[in-house]
Amino acid sequence: MKKILSYLISPIHMFLFALLLLVFHPVQVVTRWIWGYPVRKKSVDILNLLLIRILHVLGTRISFRGFEKLPQGRPLIIVSNHQCTYDIPPIVWGFRKHHPKFISKIELSKGIPSISYNLRHGGSALIDRKNKGQAIKEIIKLGRHIEENNYAASIFPEGTRSKNGQVKKFQEGGIHTLLKVAPSSIIVPFVIDGNSELMKNGYYPFTFGVHLKYTVLDPIEPDGLSAAEIAEMCEIRIKKELGQG
**Exposure class string for 183-222: b at 16+ Cβ within 10 A, else e:** eebbbbbbbbbbbbbbbbeeeebbbbebebbbbbbebbeb
> Residues 1-27: pLDDT tens digits?
889 999 999 999 999 999 999 999 999
Average pLDDT over residues 161-187: 94
% of the chain at pLDDT higher than 90: 94
The CATH architecture one would assign to domain 2-241 is 3-Layer(aba) Sandwich (3.40)
Amino acid in the structure at residue 75: P
- Cβ atoms of residues 25 and 114 within 8 Å: yes
Q: What is the mean pLDDT of the chain?
A: 96
Average pLDDT over residues 188-196: 98
Identify the CA nearest to 195 among candidates 96, 90, 84. Answer: 84
- Cβ atoms of residues 7 and 201 within 8 Å: no
For residue 113, cis peptide bond before it (omega within 30 degrees of 0): no
Average pLDDT over residues 37-57: 98
- Cβ atoms of residues 13 and 57 within 8 Å: yes
Model confidence at 212, pLDDT cuts 50, 70, 90, reads very high
3-state secondary structure of 205: coil
Average pLDDT over residues 62-85: 96
pLDDT at 245 over 80: no
List the domain boundaries for the chain.
2-241
3-state secondary structure of 188: strand
